Every structure is written in structure tokens, then in C-alpha cells.
Structure 1
């Protein structure tokens, strides 16, 4: 250290001390602040109807029901099984609890990317910057801020990447088996991770030092669990995990006058838009720039980036969460480049602008929460009000609703035919009536007054939650064929219908707006 770096009081300048701290380890304040910040952001994010089937599935699994056999689940099945005991303990706080779990998993995934970069011999400063750029993308902030199935597979995937890069110097059989287990577990939670997992499997077969047999043995554990669940209800599994995700979104957008979103050109534009909400787009440009120097680790990361991009563009239409498998290998690759080629001032400014752009949707959500109140707090208050109403009426049993994520706070279970929220309900002709009954599903076209249980919750499938209020209106019209009382929650769009027996008098029911 030269005399120029010493201040008169004998202390080093703050900038130099910070750089030296970063070279040793990520600051403790960062490790503590990140999960707290993501947890707080998860509470202020607006309620999203996308969360419906994931909350319902975890709650039903917590009650001992199995996906496919006992209720319809429109994804691969691992998440509700893993979350079931946690949700069981959380009880009425299951919905915000699942958001908090996903936020903590998001922080853990970012930490795994940092550790993976350090294992790839990236200096601490560059590894930390790359991890923070990952954390600032709207793709990650959305995926880890709602109760969907995005954060859990991301943790499995980033954990596998850490082990893959750490094993470049010495890969043990146990490490290879853990990599296989984590990659297969990610695909067992969300099918979009299957392509990156398969890409690594092919890489391991080609590069035998990755111990492909041990990788396969590790992957056999979650794969066997999925096959075991599939064997219980094979037709329902094939429909929920493969047929519905392939056919239903295209049908919905084609029939809704938005078929343009299904075209390849528009999907590519959407992909670029989502990548631009954060530093992923400039990172992709830097990584794609031709370079003569390319280590084997870099090539593997490039393969995983391409597999993630292919996985993101295949579904119709393209949504931001589909790009999550791209981000970890992308920012690891960027950190590896910066290890050799430090970014100049112009490049740093570009990355700063895009990183801020990634934060804008979250900042807007913060502003809306400051103006209108915290959405999750309101959801809990409304759930408590629903519970008090139903308890006062001594109304028990399952609840038919297109917003089953709102039911845990009311201490009620969803009718299992409505556990998939609005997503199957709005489909048209994907299954005949007999198969709907076998798969525990019901569509708007097949809904009859006698299909509804004694309690119906309406108002959760609205534009305020990203939904279609016409679907709730259809349920209300069908319910009107039965005697009922309408209990409107004060100051809320939610209302509870208490229905009489289907065979009762067919006169127009007496309607009350007084919840007392």
C-alpha cells in the first residue's frame, strides 16, 4: 500500500476498503438485506390470478390429496408435494406464506449464482455485480414475488450450476448425482427446465468427466416420483402436464382476437421486451459477441443459454417467467467475460440504464401500494371477513371459486373441480364431459346449476387481478337458477353466494346485500 492511499488519520479510503471487502466475500449487509427486500416486495406486488392453481394445489396436497389422482394440476407435480407440509403449518397465512417462501428462494438462487461465479474463478466484485444485475431483472422480480412455480425450480437450477462449475476442478460421484437430482427436480416442478436439463445430460454424455452415470442416478429420484404420481392417474397426468399447456393458451388467445400474440415474430418481440426490462438484453449482446478465447466452461454455459432461449420461445404466447432458465447461465457467462475483459465506462452506463428499467415495474407496484394499500394485507382482511360470514351462517364444505388462492385466509378449501382457477374453466372443448369428471375439472360450457356446491365466491377473477370478469359473471348466471343469498363484502368486489338445493323452487331467489 502506498502512502497516497493512507489518510491522515491512518484509515484507508472507503472505496479501497470496499473493494478489498468485496474481494474477500460478499458483504454481510447484502446477504441479509436481499432476502428481506425481496420478501417485502412480494407483499406489495398486486394479486395475480396466475397464482390460483399453485396456492390451491399446495393447500389440497397439505390436506392429503395428490395431484392428478385427486385434483387437476396443470404443471409437473413436484412443487405442491414439497410445499404441502409448509402450507399445512401456515394455515390461514398460506397465501402470503407461499409468496414469502418464493422470495426467500429467489434470494437463495441469487446467492447460488454468486457462488457459482466464484467457483468459476470470477473475482468477488464481478461476481457480485453480475448477481445484482440478475436480481434487478423484472423477470426474476416477478417470478420470485408471486406464489407461482418459478422460484423453486430456479433454486434447483442455480444450485446445479454451482455444483457444475465447482466440479470443473474435481467432480465426485456424489456431486454428479446431486447435479442430476437438482436438474431433474427443476423439470419436475416446471417443464421449461427440461430442455436445459437435457442439454446438460447430453453434455455429460459427451464429456465423460462429468460422470453421466451418476448424473442419471441422481435424476432418477425426482423422475421416479413423477412417474409414480403419473401411474396413479395416467390420463389426467398427460393432460395436465403436457396436453393442456400445449393447447389451451393457443386456444384462448386465438379465440379472444389476439391470435397475433401466437405468431413467431410477435413472440420474439415479446422475448426482447422482457429481456430489456433488466440487464439481460445487454448481457446477451455481450455474450453473443464473437470471441477467440472460449474455455470449455464458457461453451457449456452457452449451450445452457441456448437451451433456455429455445425453451422460452417454444410456448405460445411468450411470457416473462419463461425466460428464467436463461438468466443464471447468462449472467454467469457475463461474469466470466468480465473476469478477463473489464467493462468500460460506456458499457457500465448501458447496463445501469437497463438495470433501472428492470426495476420500473416493481417501483410502480410500490407506488400503487403506497397509494391504495398493500394488496396482500387487503386479501387477508377480506379472507377474514369471508370466514366470519361463513361461520356466522354455519356454512361448511368446499367453495366453488375461480380465485382459490383467496380461500386459505377464509379457512376454507376449494371445490377440487375449481382448483385450477380460471385456466381450464375458460377453455373450450379440450375434454369431453366424462373426462372432465374423471380429471376433477369443469369448464364453463359444462357447468350446470347442480354442479355448484353450497358456497360460491365471486369477484376474484377480475381485471384488478389480471383476470376476466366475464367468467365470474357466467358462474353467477348459472348459480341464479338455484335459491341463494348474496353476501357482499363491504368495500370489496368479492361476494359470497349461499346456494340452496338444486331441486328447490325455481322462483327468483331472494337476494340480500347485507353481510350480517
Structure 2
């Protein structure tokens, strides 16, 4: 008989309030640039790879384009709040997946709460990156997966699993590893109906294939080649970041900022008799450890199955007193980075401050009569204006800072420009250039903005007054 799976709505509502506040207060991060830019451009009917460069798989800008369109000048805010809502969905799905897998309500609620205190999750849902969407899709897939593991799966639920896991991979490529791992597991455990899983994945695979077909070379370079080769170039002066020791230290550090490392210790014995959740956990860890270097958000694919396993372990045996004390300590460790960042920022680098900066940029553009595309390494700030980012700068600073990864003709054909080849802008100069958003205050590199500003001054762009201590605007 199916157990009651009514969600703890009051707890989820409280989590939404907290996560929304974090989305408003979290410091600006230049990582958000390409995701906001992609949503803004797709909201105007443009497509990734064929119309503008996008260094990830294509689903998120296509799904988030309506949000950006509806939010208008508040697009960046809306995209952050969408991720906060997805964070709540992750907690709710993990709770329900734990219940479907056989955990009691108390164990499921406790472990979902511990997941909500992981710095890995808190960072991912507080910024307008592409981490929360695939994690929510994976967490949602755990519900029918758990039902199938207990013998209650149907063809429809198996197709749903296929849709969700394929969509997660279509939003972020690293989630393809858990998807493939589950497909392999389903071949050996027919309760999971592998044929139906594949049928469910077909429409999403068709979407990705159509993105490839529109611009095959750009798709391959932007989703596979660039993520594989760019880090080695960028960290050439810091090789320790790419070492196995550096990866191990970083991974343990990020897991320890919250209850994730404790959860791994608690469920370690379950990994010797792997079931579908253990397989998905292992695949999530592989997905996290493959890229160089390792960053906290890369570990997110491992968290939903990990905390479902923790709920099952605590259902089997009540946690010892030392474990409960350690869990409380780990919660503090998980919350500390977010609280420290918010306190140090004091609102000066929060999204609320970015809204004020956006108004100043919009006013300066209006007074200068600029309506054409804007060249900037901080395209996320253009959401508050009537202007769109120049498509050659849709990736923010991330391709711009690379060196000769593409020949000049291919670079231009893929709507890309690097700092080493700014002369290429002469053939189609942007209407205006906005600098100042790429700096230490946004986790960026001010030297990159300086190179773009130097190009503008050498081409006699006119400086336009702007009511901002950070930004400078130049008009052709």
C-alpha cells in the first residue's frame, strides 16, 4: 500500500522565504553573467549557439526566456527568485523521494532540512546560475525511481524519469552521468522499465539535437570543447588548482561546509551493497570530480540521492547522540559562508544594490539615446535597461579572457570575441561599451574591463556621465 506522502507545506513555505531573502542579499557574482544574458537574448527570440554563444547545454535559457520576458526590467531579480523556488522544490522532492523509498516522515523531514543547510545548495539557489534547475529535475526523478524500486513503477512513471533525467542533462552536461548511470542500472533491474525510460528521454534529446543541427560547430565547441580546455589555460599560473591533491582538498572542504560530509560518513556501509540510490550518488560524485578544478556547485548532483539515503539509514537506526551533535555543528558550518558573505557585503554588492546600478545604467543609456546592442563583460546588468547585450559578449568574461582557443574566422562566426582579438570589433562596432562590472567586487578581474575600456578610448568613444561609482559608459 502506498504510504502518505503529503508534503510539509509550512516548512517549505518557510524555506521559500529564507531562500528568497538569500537571493536578494547574496553578493553579485560574475558567474551569473552568461545565464542572465542568455535568458535576455532568448526572450527576444534568439537561440543559443546559432544566434549567440552559450557555454552550457541549451535547456535553461529556453525555459527561462519567458520569465525574463515577463519580468522586463526585473529579469535578473526574477531569475534569482526562480532559482530560490527551485531550491524549495529540491527540498520537497527529496522529502517525498525519501518517503517513497521507505523512510518515515520524521527522518525524511530531518534530512531534507539538513540538505537545506548545505553551502553547496545555498550558493546554487542564491545566484542566477544553471545549478538549481538540473538539481531540481534530478531530485524530482528520485520520486518515481523510489516508487519503481519498491515495485510500484508504471510505464508512465518510467517515461517521466526519462524526461526528467534527460532534461537535467539538457540544462547542465554533468547531469548526463547520473542519467546514463540510471539507464545502465535499469537494464539490469527491469522494474525500472528501461524502454519506457528511453522513450521519455527522446523528446528532450530531440531538443538538444535540434540545437546541435542549427549550429553544429558552435554547439560542440561551446558545450564540450570550451569546458574541457579553458580551465587548464585559465589556471596555468596556479597549477595546484588542477592537481589531484587540490581537487581532494577542495571537495572535502565543500562537503564539510554543511552536513553533506557527515551524511557520506553515515551512509558509507550502504555503498557496499549498492542500490539505485547508491548508483546515482556515485554517478553524482563522478560528475562533480571530473571537471578541473572542483567548485562547490559541481557537487550538487550528488546531494539529492545522498540525503534520501541518509533518511533511509536514520529510519533503519536512530542516529547516535554524537551524530546528532555533529549534525548541529555541520548545519552551522553550512550556514556560515552565506551569513558571512551577507554581513561583509552589507548590501553594497547585493542584488538590491545591483538594481540601483541598473537604474543608473538605464538612465544614462536613455539620455545618450542608445538603443543598439551594448558590449559589456557584465551583461546581467542590462536586464534593467531597454538595451540588449551585444551577442559577442553573451558569455560575459568567460570566453573573452581565453587565448587563441579558436582561429579568428571561427571566433567571429560563433559570435565570440576574445581580449586578444578586440580589433575584430572594428568591423561591427558596438553602439556603446559598459565597463566596471567585472572586478573584485563581483568576483571578477578588473584587468579584463580595462582592456575593453582601452579599446573604446582608442576608437574615440564618447564618455557619458553615469550616476554610478562603479560603472563607466562609452558611446560610439
TM-score range, shorter chain: over 0.9
Q: Is the 8 A contact 1:43 1:374 kept in 2?
A: no
Q: Is the 8 A contact 1:79 1:152 kept in 2?
A: yes
In the alignment, the residues of structure 2 paired with residue 357 and residue 28 of structure 1 have an alpha-carbon distance, to the nearest angstrom, of 26
2:337 paired residue number: 361
Q: Is the 8 A contact 1:116 1:332 kept in 2?
A: yes
After TM superposition, the structure 1 = structure 2 runs for residues 259-338 of structure 1, keeping only pairs within 5 Å, are 259-289=239-269, 299-338=275-314
Q: Is the 8 A contact 2:166 2:179 kept in 1?
A: yes
Q: Per the alignment, in what secondary structure is the counterpart of residue 263 of structure 2?
A: helix
Q: Does 2:469 match 1:492?
A: yes
Shift of 1:24: 8.7
Deviation digits for residues 32-82 of structure 1 (CA, Å, limit 9, x no counterpart): 111111011111000000000000001101101010000001000010011
Q: Does 2:436 match 1:459?
A: yes
Which runs of 5 or more structure 1 residues have no equivalent in the other structure? 1-22, 500-516
1:17 paired residue number: none
Shift of 1:372: 4.0
Shift of 1:211: 0.6
Q: Is the 8 A contact 2:360 2:467 kept in 1?
A: no
After TM superposition, the structure 1 = structure 2 runs for residues 392-471 of structure 1, keeping only pairs within 5 Å, are 392-448=367-423, 450=426, 452-471=429-448
In the alignment, the residues of structure 2 paired with residue 242 and residue 372 of structure 1 have an alpha-carbon distance, to the nearest angstrom, of 37
In the alignment, the residues of structure 2 paired with residue 276 and residue 184 of structure 1 have an alpha-carbon distance, to the nearest angstrom, of 30
1:481 paired residue number: 458
Q: Is the 8 A contact 2:375 2:389 kept in 1?
A: yes
Shift of 1:192: 0.8
Q: Is the 8 A contact 1:26 1:128 kept in 2?
A: no
Shift of 1:323: 0.3
In the alignment, the residues of structure 2 paired with residue 58 and residue 269 of structure 1 have an alpha-carbon distance, to the nearest angstrom, of 35
1:82–1:386 CA distance, 2 compared to 1 (3 A)? same
After TM superposition, the structure 1 = structure 2 runs for residues 151-190 of structure 1, keeping only pairs within 5 Å, are 151-167=132-148, 168-190=150-172
Shift of 1:289: 3.5
The structure with the largest alpha-carbon Rg is 1
Q: Per the alignment, in what secondary structure is the counterpart of residue 467 of structure 2?
A: coil
Q: Is the 8 A contact 1:180 1:218 kept in 2?
A: yes
Deviation digits for residues 120-139 of structure 1 (CA, Å, limit 9, x no counterpart): 12111110010001000000
Shift of 1:489: 3.2
In the alignment, the residues of structure 2 paired with residue 349 and residue 274 of structure 1 have an alpha-carbon distance, to the nearest angstrom, of 20
Q: Per the alignment, in what secondary structure is the counterpart of residue 496 of structure 1?
A: strand
1:18 paired residue number: none
Shift of 1:200: 0.2
1:372–1:210 CA distance, 2 compared to 1 (3 A)? closer
2:354 paired residue number: 379
1:291–1:44 CA distance, 2 compared to 1 (3 A)? closer
Q: Does 2:226 match 1:249?
A: no
Deviation digits for residues 228-258 of structure 1 (CA, Å, limit 9, x no counterpart): 110000000000110001011121011xx21
Shift of 1:373: 4.4
Q: CA RMSD in A?
A: 1.5
Q: Is the 8 A contact 2:101 2:312 kept in 1?
A: yes
Q: TM-score, normalised by structure 1?
A: 0.89
Q: Per the alignment, in what secondary structure is the counterpart of residue 447 of structure 1?
A: helix
In the alignment, the residues of structure 1 paired with residue 199 and residue 55 of structure 2 have an alpha-carbon distance, to the nearest angstrom, of 27
1:25–1:84 CA distance, 2 compared to 1 (3 A)? closer
Q: Does 2:115 match 1:140?
A: no
Q: Per the alignment, in what secondary structure is the counterpart of residue 318 of structure 1?
A: coil
Number of aligned positions between the proteins = 470
Q: Per the alignment, in what secondary structure is the counterpart of residue 381 of structure 1?
A: helix
Q: Does 2:245 match 1:233?
A: no
2:194 pairs with one of 165, 189, 212: 212
1:317–1:105 CA distance, 2 compared to 1 (3 A)? same
Which runs of 5 or more structure 2 residues have no equivalent in the other structure? none
In the alignment, the residues of structure 2 paired with residue 269 and residue 398 of structure 1 have an alpha-carbon distance, to the nearest angstrom, of 43
Shift of 1:492: 2.0
Q: Is the 8 A contact 2:357 2:468 kept in 1?
A: no
In the alignment, the residues of structure 1 paired with residue 31 and residue 208 of structure 2 have an alpha-carbon distance, to the nearest angstrom, of 23
Shift of 1:483: 1.8
In the alignment, the residues of structure 1 paired with residue 119 and residue 263 of structure 2 have an alpha-carbon distance, to the nearest angstrom, of 14
Q: Per the alignment, in what secondary structure is the counterpart of residue 387 of structure 2?
A: coil
Q: Does 2:69 match 1:88?
A: yes
Shift of 1:374: 6.5
In the alignment, the residues of structure 2 paired with residue 43 and residue 187 of structure 1 have an alpha-carbon distance, to the nearest angstrom, of 28
1:26–1:425 CA distance, 2 compared to 1 (3 A)? same
